[in-house]
Chains A and B, each alone.
Chain A
Amino acid sequence: MGTPRKRGKVKVTEGGQEGGPSSYVKHHHFGIGGIAFGSGFSVMVLELAAVRVFAPHFGDSVPVWTNVIGVILLGLALGAWFGGALADRGLGTKILPFLLGIAGGLSFLVPFLVPRIAQWILPESLPLHLALPVLVEGSLGASLFVFLPPIILLGAVPPVLIRMGSMGDQKHVGRISGTVYSTGTLGSLGGTFLTTHWLIPSFGLSTTFALSGGILILVGLGACLLSRGPKIPPALGVLVLPFCFLAKPKPVWLGKGKLLAESTSPYQELFVKESQENGKTLRELKINEGLDSFHSIYIEGTPFTNGRYYDAFALLPFLFDRSKAISVLSLGCGGGTILRCIQASSLQRIRGLGVELDPEVLKLGRKFFHLEALEKEGQELLGGLDARIFVNHAKASKKTFDLISLDTYRNQFYLPAHLASLEFFQRVHALLNPKGVFALNIGDFKEDGPVLKAVAQTLAKVFKTVESFRVQGERNFLLIGHEGKPYRLWKQIRDSHPPLGLSPKLWAAAGRDLSYSQWEAASESDLLRDYDSPLLLLHERMYERLR
Chain B
Amino acid sequence: MAFDRKNPQKDPLGKALQLSSKGQIKAATHLLKKALLRPKELKNPLACARNLGFFLLQNGKEASFLSWIQGSGLTWRDDPFLLLLQGKAFFRQEDYKRAEASYQKVLRDSKARNPWKQQAQEDLKALLKALDEIHQAKGALNRARLLIGGGTAILILFVGISLIILKRMERRLAKKEFKG
Contact = CB atoms under 8 A, between A and B. Distances in A.
A514 to B, nearest CB: 4
B128 interface: no
Interface residues of A, number: 46
A130 B134 contact: yes
Contacts of A490: 23
Contact of A145 (B60, B150, B159): B150
B69 to A, nearest CB: 17
A126 B136 CA distance: 8
A121 B159 CA distance: 27
Contacts of B63: 446, 448
A122 B140 contact: yes
Given A85-B162, A514-B55, A141 B144 contact: yes
B25 interface: yes
A422 interface: no
Given A126-B136, A126-B137, A137 B148 contact: yes
Interface in A310-332: none
Given A126-B140, A144-B152, A148-B151, A515 B59 contact: yes
Contacts of B155: 78, 144, 148
A432 B55 CA distance: 36
What secondary structure prevails in chain A residues at the interface with B?
helix
Contacts of A142: 147
B137 A123 contact: yes
B145 A137 contact: yes
Nearest to B172: A89
B23 A511 contact: yes
Contact of B151 (A15, A124, A141, A512): A141
A470 B147 CA distance: 39
A512 B55 CA distance: 10
A152 B57 CA distance: 57
A340 B15 CA distance: 40
A508 B177 CA distance: 90
A513 B24 CA distance: 6
Interface string B148-174: 101110010011001000100110010
Given A512-B23, A546-B138, A144 B60 contact: no
A63 interface: no
B166 A121 contact: no
B151 A145 contact: yes
B97 interface: no
A472 B92 CA distance: 11
Contacts of B170: 89
Identify the interface centre among B56, B63, B152, B155: most chain A CB within 10 Å of its CB: B155
A134 B158 contact: no
Nearest to B134: A130
A117 B134 CA distance: 20
B143 interface: yes
Given A137-B148, A141-B151, 12 more contacts: A121-B140, A123-B136, A126-B140, A127-B133, A130-B134, A141-B150, A144-B148, A148-B151, A152-B158, A490-B23, A514-B59, A515-B60
Interface of A: 15, 78, 82, 85-86, 89-91, 117, 120-127, 130-131, 133-134, 137-138, 140-142, 144-145, 148, 152, 446-448, 470, 472, 490, 493-494, 509, 511-515, 545-546
27 contacts: A91-B169, A122-B140, A123-B136, A123-B137, A123-B140, A126-B140, A127-B133, A130-B133, A134-B137, A137-B141, A137-B148, A141-B145, A141-B151, A144-B151, A148-B151, A152-B158, A446-B63, A447-B61, A490-B23, A509-B59, A514-B25, A514-B55, A514-B58, A514-B59, A515-B60, A546-B134, A546-B141
Considering the complex of A and B, which 5 residue pairs feature the smallest CB-CB distances, nearest first?
A: A141-B147, A144-B151, A514-B59, A514-B25, A123-B136
